[in-house]
Amino acid sequence: MASTQSQYPLDPSGPSVTTSAVPKMQKPIPYSCSNGHRTPLSSILPPLIFGTATFNHQYNSDPFSLDTTGLVASALDYGIRAFDTSPYYGPSEQLLGAALATPFVRSTFPRDSYLLLTKVGRIASSEFDYSPAWIRTSIARSLRRLQTPYLDLVYCHDIEYVSPDEVVTAVRELRRIRDEEGTIRYIGISGYPIGVLGSVAELILRETGEPVDAVQSFANFTLQNRTLGGPGGIDRLAAAGVQVVTNASPLGMGLLRREGVPVGALGDFHPASRELRAAVRRASEFCDGVGERLEVVALRWALETWISAGAAAGSRAHPVSGLPGKEESNEDVGRGTKFGISVIGVSNAKELEMTMLMWRSILDGLEGGEDKAVQTGRWKRAREWSRNRREAVEMLAEGVQEVLGEWFNYAWDSPPKGFVNQRKKGQIEGQSEGKKEDAP
């Protein structure tokens, strides 16, 4: 289940972030399609994506009580230009669509100034439908919920729960919609087992002659599990022609927190075993012992390290500046190199603010960071501080790895043993992905 989680303990009562002075209307993201040749996704998908799995009953007791409108507006102000969601994330699509439809957003951030990413195929925890009929139904509904005429990127959601042939069939239907209806621009696959993602990406290329544009992996490049960065991960996917590989759930769906996994209205959904959770608690106590929080160390390590580790299938799009109302180009920060792409999720304004401060500090440590800090009137030693912090976090990451022991690079079973798809063939009418009460 590809999803995101908060960096800090959930605090729905946190204050809203006040946006900067009303910015000018944002420029469109350059996109073109001529004779079947599309702008490379790697040139327009930014290296930091706002994930909205937190707009869901899994992570919060009442997602409708979250200031989702304020969060989305503030994220745009900080420079976020891509939002990831799914019909499986309960009311996430509706909440995101409503936030993007406010007069402020529509007048300042036109639809062509940001990217929308969603998914198809996963209906409930034990229901999957990759049939062409359901794909069409799901896409039409996502367009309505998100209040948009098109979707920039659509993933097949959690592909390990269905057969490889079903995934190929779904990808073919998504491409038909892309080519004949124009409501989809790019197509990808998502899931947890690294080996499955690699083998299915290779199968799609072999069977169709066209690679998938994107792969989203979750909880596989974290302090606890780094397999996405290995040869069987991003290198294999890049060799299969995948343009971008996004690293979602840098905290392992909330596992890597002092408080443990988040528990929302749906109860404890996390697949981690008691033994793995106990090992993570010991890692958290290790961080406490040196005056750090596990979630802060884990998030910084994942975001910062993936910038280079994920570069083989990364982004040359403008990085998210992390500064309200300030824009930067890829040439300004990093000297035009590719950045690995991460997906982050928050539940309140304070979490967003702290995540953006962390991201800004990470960018300060890159090539050109010192010059950019001086140009923008910030601390001239910001780059030095960032690089020192990186060394400290790397040292702590090594300590966490030692504490985790045999649980380092451990992956839970997905799907779980004994899983049976409860979806009936041809079951379309009256069905909805996510919680029943969240359907339109």
Predicted pLDDT at 335: 66
Predicted pLDDT at 25: 83
- Tokens 């043993």, residue located: 417
Q: What is the DSSP string of 76-133?
A: HHHT--EEE--TTSTTHHHHHHHHHTSHHHHHHS-GGGSEEEEEESEEETTEE---HH
Domain extents in the chain:
43-272+305-348
Q: Report yes or no: 118 and 144 within 8 Å, Cβ to Cβ.
A: no
- Tokens 């910084």, residue located: 300
Residues 316-332 have a mean pLDDT of: 79
Predicted pLDDT at 266: 81
Q: Which of 59, 89, 161, 186 is catalytic?
A: 89
Lowest mean pLDDT among 190-204, 260-274, 386-400: 260-274
Q: What is the DSSP string of 393-417?
A: HHHHHHHHHHHHGGGTT----SSPT
Predicted pLDDT at 426: 64
> What pLDDT digit, counting tens, does each position of 99-138 carry?
999 999 999 999 999 999 999 999 999 999 999 999 999 9
Structure tokens at 178: 């892309």
Q: What is the DSSP secondary structure assignment for residue 141, as one 8-state letter? A: H
More confident call, 60 vs 84: 84
Structure tokens at 432: 């909805």
pLDDT at residue 415 tops 60? yes
> What pLDDT digit, counting tens, does each position of 62-76 carry?
999 999 999 999 999
Q: Please name the CATH architecture into which domain 43-272+305-348 falls.
A: Alpha-Beta Barrel (3.20)
Residues 293-301 have a mean pLDDT of: 98
Predicted pLDDT at 23: 61
Cβ neighbors of 90 (< 8 A, separation 6 or more) are: 55, 56, 57, 58, 63, 434, 435, 438
User: 416, exposed or middle or buried, with CB in 10 Å at 0-12, 13-18, 19+?
Assistant: exposed
Predicted pLDDT at 440: 34
pLDDT at residue 47 tops 70? yes
How distant is the alpha carbon of residue 57 from its chain centre? Answer: 18
H runs (alpha helix) in 193-314: 194-208, 236-239, 274-288, 294-309
Q: What is the dihedral sign for C-alpha 220, 221, 227, 231?
A: positive
pLDDT at residue 249 tops 90? yes
Predicted pLDDT at 400: 98
Nearest to 234 by CA among 224, 244, 223, 225: 244
| Distance separating alpha carbons of residues 123 and 141, to the nearest angstrom | 13
Residues 354-361 have a mean pLDDT of: 95
Q: Report yes or no: 167 and 135 within 8 Å, Cβ to Cβ.
A: no
Q: What is the CA radius of gyration of the chain?
A: 20
Predicted pLDDT at 11: 30
Predicted pLDDT at 66: 95
Predicted pLDDT at 436: 40
Predicted pLDDT at 334: 65
Predicted pLDDT at 427: 65
| Distance separating alpha carbons of residues 170 and 303, to the nearest angstrom | 31
In which band, very low, low, confident or very high, does the pLDDT at 432 lie, cut at 50, 70 and 90?
A: very low
User: Rounded to the nearest 5°, which phi and psi values hold at 26?
Assistant: -75, 150
In which band, very low, low, confident or very high, does the pLDDT at 428 lie, cut at 50, 70 and 90?
A: low
pLDDT at residue 201 tops 60? yes
More confident call, 220 vs 438: 220
In which band, very low, low, confident or very high, does the pLDDT at 2 lie, cut at 50, 70 and 90?
A: very low
88 annotated active-site: no
Total Cβ atoms within 10 A of residue 391: 9
Identity of the amino acid at 127: E
Predicted pLDDT at 13: 30
| Distance separating alpha carbons of residues 191 and 199, to the nearest angstrom | 12
Predicted pLDDT at 419: 95
